[in-house]
Amino acid sequence: MSKAVKLALMLTATALVAGCQTAPKPLYQWESYQPQVYEYFKGEPKEAQVEALERDLQKINASGRQAPPGYHAHLGLLYLSMGKDDQMVQQLRTEKALFPESAAYMDFLLKNAKAPEVKK
């Protein structure tokens, strides 16, 4: 066989092997997180958003995967807007633990959420 034919066969075999590889699994499981953020900005009822996010969080945990960055923080802010401070704190602390790069922002949110309102 000529060098050109050998090279063509080798390239074809390489392409076939590379094409058979499976795609890597996504790092995070999103479920309906992105549509729920959109619903938040549209002003949809927060209770329905929390219900959907909590349901999705159970699916994510059951699958052994991880929620994406911001998931717990968004859920925490929804809880804050509903007056559920204990659940808000829990979600923001979870976000901080899972994504240490968010620590400064989570600390800021926690500090300001607990600050008493100033009356004028």
Per-residue pLDDT of the chain (120 residues), as tens digits, is 778 777 777 777 777 666 666 777 777 888 888 888 888 888 888 999 999 999 999 999 999 999 999 999 999 999 999 999 999 999 999 999 999 999 999 999 999 987 555 454
State the Cα–Cα distance between residues 8 and 10, nearest whole angstrom.
5
**pLDDT for the residue 24:** 75
The answer to whether residues 31 and 59 touch, using CB atoms and an 8 Å cutoff, is: yes
The Cα diameter of the chain in Å comes to 91
Q: Is 88 exposed, middle or buried (0-12, 13-18, 19+ CB in 10 A)?
A: buried
Length of the chain: 120
Residue with tokens 């009356």: 119
Domains of the chain by start residue, with CATH: 28-114 (1.25.40)
Virtual CA dihedral for 81, 83, 85, 90, nearest 10 degrees?
-50
